[in-house]
Every structure is written in C-alpha cells, then in structure tokens.
Structure 1
Amino acid sequence: MCGIAGWVDYERDLTKERATALAMTRTMARRGPDDEGLWTGPHAALGHRRLAVIDIEGGVQPMTEGPATLVYSGETYNFHELRRYLEAHGHRFRTRSDTEVVLRSYLEWGGDFAGRLNGMYAFALWDAGREELLLGRDRMGIKPLFYAPTGNGVLFGSEPKAILANPHFTARVGEEGLLEVLTNAKTPGHGVFTGMHEVIPGHTVTVSREGTSDRRYWALTAREHTDDVPATVRHVRELLDDIVERQLISDVPLCTLLSGGLDSSALTALADRALGRDHVRSFAVDFVDETGGFVPDDLRETADGPYVHDVAEHVACDHSDVVLGNDQLASPEAMRTVLRARDLPAMGDMDSSLYLLFAEIRKQSTVALSGESADEVFGGYRWFHDPGAVAADAFPWTSAALGQGLDLLDPDLRAKAGAYQRDRYHEALTEVPHLPDASPRERRMREICYLHLTRMVRLLLDRKDRMSMAVGLEVRVPFCDHRLVEYVFNTPWSHKTYDGREKSLLRGAVADVLPDSVVRRRKSPYPATQNPGYEQAVRDRLRAVAADSSAPVRDFLDPDAVRAALDRPLGKASIQRDRVPIERALAFADWLDEYRPALA
C-alpha cells in the first residue's frame, strides 16, 4: 500500500535538504515497513515507504523514467489492460509492477492519465522538464493525500504527520478546524490544520512556479437508468464478479474481513469462488464475554458471531476469530497508536478494536478485502429508511454515533458545532446532480445517497486506511469500484428497495452464494463491546482528565455534563447516547494533549 511524502521549493536546493525530506518520509514507516526510498533534485524531494504487494523485487520507488519521477501508494486494478495498450504504443517495461504502468501512463497521456486508472491510489509525480509536481487521488478517496502550499512550493504526504515533520510548517488549528474535527463533517479538501488541505477525491493538483491549481477529473453525475429490476440485479452481480477477481491479484497472502453481514459475507463467498481450489482466509472480531451474552442495543439487534460461522461453514473458508479483551481495547498503548495513526481524534473502541484486529491479521496476511462502503452505495443504513431522518434538514446520520457525541462539550461550542454542521450540509446539497423529471421522492433519495458517497463514506474510509496502515496491512474495498458506484447511484430508489428491504439490489445479486441466515439478516453496524469493564475504564480516564487542571481540553468541556456522565449507574448506559460522548471527549483531550496545536 505504501506511504508517500515530499517537498517542492523553487527557491531552495533540496539536494541539501535530504535529512528533512527523509524525516518526513520516515513518518510513513508503518504504512511501508518493507523498504524506503528518497529521490532529490534541485527543487523537489520525493520520499516513499513501501509495503510490497505486487512485483516484490521490481516495484521499488521512487521510480524514474525520462523526465518523470513517481511516488505512488495504492493499487491500480486495470494495470494489465493499460500495460497491453502502452506496450502496443511503444513502451518497454522493466518491471511487472502497477507502479511502472502508472508512470508510463503519465508519459503517454500527460496529466489526464488519472481518469484511466481503476483502483485506489494517491500519487505525486515530479516532471523535471516542466518543473511541475502533479498530485492525484482516486475517485472515492480510499487513499489519503495531504498538501500544504508554502509560498515557494508545497509540502505533501499520505498523512498530516509527514507535513508536520517539516520545520517550515507549524501545527495551528483555527475555530473552523476544531469544528471540522468535532462534527466529523468531512468537508472535501479540508485538512483541519491551518494551511493544510486534502487532495479532493477525483481531483489532481498541479504545483508550478505560478502556484497551485486544482482540476476535477471525476464526479458523480446524473444519468437515466433504463434497466429493469432483474437486469439491474444481473449487472450488479456481473460487476461484483469482475471487481472481486481483479482485487484478488496479489503476490502476498490475502484474506477477507468477515462480519456475518451481507456485505462482507458476499465478498468472502465471491472471493472463495474466484480462487477455485484455494479457499479464501477470513477473519472476524469478537469481544471477551460477548458471544452468548449479547444484548440488543440502539443499533445492533444481533451478535455477529453466529452469522460469521454460518458463512465460514457455507463457504468452507479458512476462518479465524480474533477475540479482544477490555484491557486491550482501553490500553493506553493502543489508544496512543490509534491517535498517532489518525493525527486527529479517534472513535473510541470502534478504532482501537479495528486496529487490534488488523494487528492480529497482519501476522498471517498482508492484504484484506473489506465490505466497507456497501451501505453507502446500496442504501443499507437504517436512516435511509427512516422517514424522519430522510425529511430532516440535516445530514441523515446525525442521530447516530457519527453525528452525536458532543454532549460533554461547552454549550457555546456545541452550538457552533451544530451551526457548522448545518452549513456544511446545505453546502453539500448544492453539489447534487439531478435528473430534470425526477419525482420529489427520487430527488430526495438521490440527495441522501450523494451525501453518503461524498461525506460519510470518506470518514469511514479514512478510519479503515489509518487503522490498517498502522500495522502495514493493505485493505481493499471492492464496493468502492467507481463503475459500481456510478451504476448504483443512478439506479432509482424504487429499484434499490424493490423487495421492501435495505440493500435489495445487493441481496438479490448475491443470495445464491450465501446461507439463508445471512440473506435474511438485518443490517448490523460494526460491533462495539458491551462489556461494562470497558465502560468503567473510559469513565476512569474521563474522571482523571476532568481532575487535571493542566489538561488542554478542560476549557472546552461542560463540567456539569461531565459530572452527570460519570454519575450514571454503570452498566445502564446506552452505547450511542451515553458512552460515545465520553469516548469523543477523551479522544479530543488526547489529541489536544499530544499534538498541542496552536489555537487561533
């Protein structure tokens, strides 16, 4: 998967700044544990940390051909087709890697080449002849890329920490940056730290002596859908078969993440079929004292375990459960690792459990397929089907964990966060492409789908990227293939719910490869531990923070709300209503304490 970092400065000789460029690159060591490379020229330095997945020997970076030098993170799943085209047009390859295909695609098509790639990627390409840097990111934002203009050039990296490692950048956060963090608004291009930006998914950024310019090469568009329901279901299956087969390409051990839900179960079954004789490996997360003692909560009606094992038996995959305890979930070491992986406040045990799961998987596999984003693509969340959430003048997920959690903050700050979130919501609505003759119902559901595909999914993809890269595990997300996203986005809502249930199209497309129990199961989100020992641990930490007069977060908290949260009877709390605000407050406190951004 890899991590990239670099620096362009038109007033400085960067061949004399190798130590700084190397320090930036080494912040990406967890993303790329297998190799390190640094290329420097008079005005550019490009660093790379490699996780070797395809062409172990040949895919070393930075990679140079003619005037172009490339550092690249991710996978291009159509690289075989692109390679055949390029060879037919005179290119001679030295490696088997997709990296060389990306590099030669630039030489063949120039800056427009990104639109020809199918995959998850972020890249930085320095053209010495033009003295220009080209930054690019995949359509859905699976792979991250940040940059900070400096006046004389730019700093960039897969994660903010690469930019923060350069002495010419100071960690400052204004009020808008704080609100971006607290609301999980995920505004396209926003980098939280003042002066830092994200390359917007589906965009490239060109850096030259004249400054920076942004160009969009892909966006969701509105198109008429002419297939009936049976034809739509068939086409979804055809796309999934092709996508899974492409994403199984690897020169290192590969597995699937299996939760027992429709999405991950479908990928596991399709991957197993595509592999033929070799059964796919799968992994699931569970918690100590959870299986057999599960109690339905705000969002989860059923435990994952029984459904995971139904799929494992049905598919005959090589399955392992990773069972986590409270001491692991709440351990200071895990929480620090999660925070440093994110460079932003974490999501409580949703993050720590994912990190710990990935750490165990990495002992046996280097690549994993995940069902992430199927809910956004196919309309799986409950609020898609809640008339109140659909009609609300707000992001539809604001009643759930991703929209809650600010109850312990100062009332004035909560009010500002609410106003900021409303502003970002209305801003997002102006982007939605519509068909002229669509009914009010179809128009609104197109808006709901667009919000999920351009805001919420990017928040979850960031989480999965940072937690997996913290242990050097490459996680692929087949449901983010842009062909599938475009097709389903333009499918009428009446098709998406043709059987009266959530994710009708996906269920219809894969029912033949799954056990009936999973086909019938209702949506259940990523699991959270219900063990009261974990709740006690996070309360104890909040109590300590609230009592620490030197804690930077104290000025942002509501003391009365904190006391009320700590006084509630243990074991009676709702995970969503009561525990999430504690976890969010702790995550904010940890971030302020660790990064000490200058607040302005």
Structure 2
Amino acid sequence: MTVETPAGTVAMVFAGEIYNFTEVRHLLELRGHRFHTDSDTEVLLRGYLEWGDEMVERMNGMFAAAVWDSARRRLVLVRDRLGVKPLYYFPTPDGVVFGSEPKAILANPCVDPAVDADGLRELLEVTQPPGWSLWKGMRSVPPGSLVIADESGIRAARYWQLRASMHGEDQQSTVDTVRTLFTDSVRRQLVSDVPRCVLLSGGLDSSAITGVAAADLRDRGEQLRTFSVELINHQHNFVADRIHAAPDTPYAIEMASHAGTRHEVVHVSAEEMADPAVRRAIVTARDAPTFGQMDASLYLLFKAIRAESTVALSGESADELFGGYRWFHEPGIGGTRSFPWLAASLGTADIRGAALDPGLVRTLDIAGYVSDQYATAVAEVDPLDGESEERRQMRTLCHLALRRFLPMWLERKDRMSMAVGLEVRVPFCDHRLIEYVFNVPWALKSFDNREKSLLRHATAHVLPESIAMREKSGYPWTHDRSYEDKVRAQAQELAHDRSSDVFSIVSRKWLQAATSGPGGLGIAGAASLEWVLDLHHWFDIYHPTITV
C-alpha cells in the first residue's frame, strides 16, 4: 500500500492483524487523515505518517511490516511485541533484503545458504537468542523491535520489553483483572470477515478461549466452530507418562458440548504423518529440520481446517505466562543456572547430537554455548527493589519462558499454519495481558497449589469442572508402533544412500547402528531418526554450506 505525500511516496508491506485499528483510525481521523479503505493496513501506514516510528506503540496486534519512506530514504522494519509474526533481514553491501521467511531471502542470488556453528548449536538445543536466524548473516527482527536501514547503515531499536513493577492487587482483584483482559483479547481477535474457529484440544488454555468465544458469538446469534486433532488408535494405544496424563479427545468433545460449538475431530493416521511428502512439506515450511511427528500432525490438522475456515484462535503462551509447565513447579529448578526446559529433562542436544559426527559435536561445545546464552538471557531481567531471592528466581523463570521458550512455539504455529493459508491468532499474546500477569507474584500465580491458578479461576465461569481441574497434558504424539516402523524403514534406506549430503554432518555408522537394533525405538529413538530424516530433506531442498 502506498500514500503520496508532498515530500514523496511512503510505501508499506504488511502481514498480520491490528486488533485496535478501529480506535486508532478514529484518532487519526480526528487529526485530519482521510481513509480510502476499511483495512488495518491503511491505519498502520497513516499511523506512520502521523507519528513516525512511534506509531507501533499505539498498535495492539500481531504484525510484521516494512515501511519505505522515499523522502528520507529509509526503510523501517517492525515486528509485534511478542514476535507472533516473523520478519527476517539480510544486510548486503548496498542495502538490505527482507522477508517474512528465510526462503524469501534465500531466493535472492546475493544470499548464500550458509549455516555456521551458532546455527547448528540452535538446531541441537533451544535457547532462542533474540534476533537469531539459522542462516549465516541473516537476522530476525527481535520481538518488540524496529530495524532501520538508511544511508548511515542498519541499526535495531527495541520499543517494548518486559518491565518489572510491583503488584499491589489482592487475589480476587487479580483474578478479575485477568478475566477482563483475557475476555477483551478474545473478543477483539474474533473480529473477522472470513470464517473463523478455535483450536480446541480439551486443555485449559484452548477451552478458556472456546468458552469466552462461544459466549460472545452466541450473543450475536452465531455458533462457534471448533476443531481438534485425534491420532488414529491413539486412545487405544495411549500410555500415560510425565507429559501426557490423559488423551485429549474426550475432553475436547466435552468442552464443545458444554460451550455449544460445532465441533469436528480431525483424524490423522501414522501413515500420513510418516509420509515423506508431508515431511518434505513441513521442512520447506520451516526452512529447517522440524519437531517431527508433532509438526506433521499439526500441519495435517491445519490443512484440514483450512478447507472450512480461514482464521483460527489458539492457546500459545498461556503456559509460559501463567506457569503451566512442570518445570515451573519442580523444586530447585530456579537455581540450576540453566534454561529450565533443558535442566528439567533430557535435552534435544542429547537426542540429536548422538547422530552427528563426534568431532563436530566437540567443536560445537553445546554446554559452553548454553551457559553463555543463559547468562545473557538472565541479564535482561529487571531487578526489583525489596524482592526476595525466591520471588526473583520465579520471575526470572517467567521471563525466560516468554522471551526464550515461547518464540519457538510461535514460530512453529506460524510456519505450519501459513504453509496452508490459515491465519492463527493467539489471544494470550495480547501485550496488556502479558505485562499484567508477568508482574503478578508467583505466590498468586499458584495460590491453589496448582499450575495456572489465575487462568483457571478467571475462566471457571465458562468451563465444566472436569476441564477447569484437568491436569496439564502436552501436545499428543503417537504410540502407534507402525509409525516407528515407517520411520525406521526410511532411515534404513537413507543409511545406504551414498548421494545424500546429510552425511557431511551425520555419522553414517551411527545411523546404521540406530536402525538395526531389535525392539521398538521409543520416543527418543524415533525422534533422533526423525531429525536425521528432516536433515536429509533440508540438505536436498536448500543445499546449505556448513561453515564450522
């Protein structure tokens, strides 16, 4: 979209949604602006004309935008506060190349598809440095930041960050405020001129969105659509573990009945998830190796939803914000001086690193890298006068979860959904809710000695008791032995492929041994083979140069 001004053309490309664009538009109209469309894009563009770079501080939404100001010969790249929408850039000798995904930038002949040591380290372990990109020389615009490119160079500036402040409200007032902020966020994000739905797993987060959204639409004479995924034979083969307490589908169906939604269970088979064409599609969508079957089932779910809906609401960031993960509640986890998701369980580096050439693993020094990243991440946390050591540790955990763990899940959600043309909105990422809950003391976040106490009590009015009190269960993965068998067969075939570039970093000897042992692979074993298969497709699609 462009606007002609007396000084020259101002042009913008934009991806995302501005949820308060009606209010901002009214304010701009009072200041003399005349609009030619009903779009939020024009509100953002005219906001730049009125307020310059500060226009972003007035916006509530998920967005990535680039503004070219011809009069000032400057490019402004801007990303929403939580980084819901991705935005990448690559400095060149005479400017900058930018795009929503690395593949858009890699399509430019001046960009080499190279990956250095830090890129490989992040493929092995998740620390998510702000601005990180897998590809050498490429950067992502950090969440809540601007990147400005002009004749003086390229520089980044943060316009939003998590700030510490004292919380003075009591328990009931805090619950009431959470309910008000969350309800407003859901209602704003329901606004759409295309079919919309909610991703309903049957857990607390998605059920809370469903309950509020269904009530709001019911008042307008509409029935909410909801979708959930069911892995075929999952309930029959289900085995409870420390991450998965119970199958999701019965709870999703109960919640749909309670809220009066039109619900559909999307059934996904082991054969579909193990299909090499599906693996290749999700590697292409991610521009990188993936989460294996977790990405495959999500991609297939989104593909099925897109046939009937264009916009979906999802529950990302509730666990990070309200303290839903088990590692928030494990004694001593705050004092381990490591990222809690790595300290609490077997790290992905242990699973994936086993497949790599041993010399490469030693060169990468994952432990040293993680230690450095942890120190950098903790240094970003504001001190708060008079704060106890325990309270400081818990606030640090929350900060790490929102700044270093959440970006991984937002990236996954956006890539898998946009690959099929589905727009997924995330009400828990409303910055007003984030800012408020972040500064609630941990004692209030867990006042009933359960995970996500505030959210549970703030949304109890729209939930059946069974779901309000349900123990957290992670995203489902299959226990179907046929899935392991198909993954093993594909990996065995790859182990004898003399043409694959994957063996420039993967140990062929390890792969041959991993695929020839007796018995089942187990979750960790299947995950390591999935990762190698992903790497094989990634090398074949992108032909990366590894520079370590």
SS at match of 2:148: strand
| 2:97 paired with 1:148 | no
Q: Aligned runs of 1:156-175 on 2, under 5 Å?
A: 156-175=98-117
CA distance in 1, matches of 2:525, 2:251: 28
Tell me what 1:237 maps to. Answer: 179
CA distance in 2, matches of 1:103, 1:252: 23
How far is the alpha carbon of 1:412 from its aligned partner? 4.0
Tell me what 2:215 maps to. Answer: 273
TM-score by length of 2: 0.95
CA distance in 2, matches of 1:272, 1:364: 18
| 2:226 paired with 1:287 | no
Tell me what 2:330 maps to. Answer: 386
Does structure 1 retain, via aligned residues, the 8 Å contact 2:181–2:433? yes
CA distance in 2, matches of 1:556, 1:566: 18
Does structure 1 retain, via aligned residues, the 8 Å contact 2:237–2:480? no
Structure 1: 5+ residue stretches without partners:
1-61
Tell me what 1:207 maps to. Answer: 149
2:314 to 370, 383, 391: 370
CA deviations 1:158-214 (Å, max 9, x no partner) are 000111111111111112222122223221111221111000110101111111111
Does structure 2 retain, via aligned residues, the 8 Å contact 1:298–1:574? no
How far is the alpha carbon of 1:455 from its aligned partner? 1.0
Of 358-367 and 440-449, the range deviating more from structure 2: 440-449
Structure 2: 5+ residue stretches without partners:
none
Q: Aligned runs of 1:54-453 on 2, under 5 Å?
A: 62-66=1-5, 67-275=9-217, 276=219, 277-398=221-342, 399=345, 405-406=351-352, 407-415=354-362, 416-453=365-402
SS at match of 1:387: coil
| 2:541 paired with 1:594 | yes
Tell me what 2:471 maps to. Answer: 522
CA distance in 2, matches of 1:588, 1:422: 26
How far is the alpha carbon of 1:295 from its aligned partner? 1.4
SS at match of 1:408: coil
| 2:460 paired with 1:511 | yes
- Percent identity of equivalent pairs: 48
SS at match of 2:82: coil
How far is the alpha carbon of 1:587 from its aligned partner? 1.9
Provide the aligned C-alpha RMSD in A: 1.6
Does structure 1 retain, via aligned residues, the 8 Å contact 2:79–2:86? yes
Of 285-294 and 528-537, the range deviating more from structure 2: 285-294
How far is the alpha carbon of 1:567 from its aligned partner? 4.2
Of 288-297 and 102-111, the range deviating more from structure 2: 288-297
SS at match of 2:161: coil
Distance 1:296-1:567 versus aligned 2 partners, 3 A rule? farther
Does structure 2 retain, via aligned residues, the 8 Å contact 1:532–1:570? no
| 2:438 paired with 1:489 | yes
Does structure 2 retain, via aligned residues, the 8 Å contact 1:205–1:212? yes
SS at match of 1:245: helix
CA distance in 2, matches of 1:414, 1:517: 46
CA distance in 2, matches of 1:422, 1:581: 24
Tell me what 1:18 maps to. Answer: none
- Letter aligned with residue 156 of structure 1: F
CA distance in 1, matches of 2:4, 2:413: 33
How far is the alpha carbon of 1:546 from its aligned partner? 2.1
SS at match of 2:340: coil
How far is the alpha carbon of 1:408 from its aligned partner? 2.4
Of 530-539 and 233-242, the range deviating more from structure 2: 530-539
Does structure 2 retain, via aligned residues, the 8 Å contact 1:368–1:473? yes
- Letter aligned with residue 356 of structure 2: L
- Letter aligned with residue 470 of structure 2: R
Of 176-185 and 337-346, the range deviating more from structure 2: 176-185
Does structure 1 retain, via aligned residues, the 8 Å contact 2:124–2:349? no
How far is the alpha carbon of 1:517 from its aligned partner? 1.2
From the two aligned structures, give the one with the greater helix fraction.
Answer: 2
- Letter aligned with residue 599 of structure 1: I
Distance 1:403-1:514 versus aligned 2 partners, 3 A rule? farther
Of 205-214 and 178-187, the range deviating more from structure 2: 178-187
- Letter aligned with residue 538 of structure 2: W
How far is the alpha carbon of 1:542 from its aligned partner? 1.8
Distance 1:170-1:204 versus aligned 2 partners, 3 A rule? same
- Letter aligned with residue 390 of structure 1: G
- Letter aligned with residue 393 of structure 2: R
CA distance in 2, matches of 1:215, 1:460: 24
Does structure 2 retain, via aligned residues, the 8 Å contact 1:358–1:473? yes
- Letter aligned with residue 489 of structure 2: D
Does structure 2 retain, via aligned residues, the 8 Å contact 1:290–1:529? yes
- Letter aligned with residue 155 of structure 2: S
CA distance in 1, matches of 2:123, 2:303: 26
Distance 1:169-1:437 versus aligned 2 partners, 3 A rule? same
How far is the alpha carbon of 1:333 from its aligned partner? 1.3
Tell me what 2:489 maps to. Answer: 540
- Letter aligned with residue 196 of structure 1: M
Aligned residues: 537
How far is the alpha carbon of 1:523 from its aligned partner? 0.8
- Letter aligned with residue 484 of structure 2: E
CA deviations 1:320-368 (Å, max 9, x no partner) are 0000011210111111110111111111011111111000000000000
How far is the alpha carbon of 1:273 from its aligned partner? 0.8
Distance 1:187-1:562 versus aligned 2 partners, 3 A rule? same
How far is the alpha carbon of 1:557 from its aligned partner? 2.9
- Letter aligned with residue 309 of structure 1: I
1:583 to 530, 534, 538: 530
How far is the alpha carbon of 1:401 from its aligned partner? 6.7
Distance 1:544-1:390 versus aligned 2 partners, 3 A rule? farther
CA distance in 1, matches of 2:259, 2:4: 45
Distance 1:232-1:404 versus aligned 2 partners, 3 A rule? farther
Distance 1:200-1:443 versus aligned 2 partners, 3 A rule? same
CA distance in 1, matches of 2:303, 2:347: 25
CA distance in 2, matches of 1:411, 1:519: 47
- Letter aligned with residue 222 of structure 1: A
CA distance in 1, matches of 2:43, 2:296: 36
- Letter aligned with residue 157 of structure 2: R
CA deviations 1:35-74 (Å, max 9, x no partner) are xxxxxxxxxxxxxxxxxxxxxxxxxxx3334321111000
TM-score by length of 1: 0.87
CA distance in 1, matches of 2:450, 2:237: 28
CA distance in 1, matches of 2:72, 2:225: 47
CA distance in 2, matches of 1:569, 1:519: 43
- Letter aligned with residue 95 of structure 2: G
CA distance in 2, matches of 1:570, 1:484: 48
CA distance in 1, matches of 2:200, 2:500: 40
SS at match of 1:104: helix
CA distance in 2, matches of 1:280, 1:246: 15
How far is the alpha carbon of 1:405 from its aligned partner? 2.7
How far is the alpha carbon of 1:429 from its aligned partner? 1.0
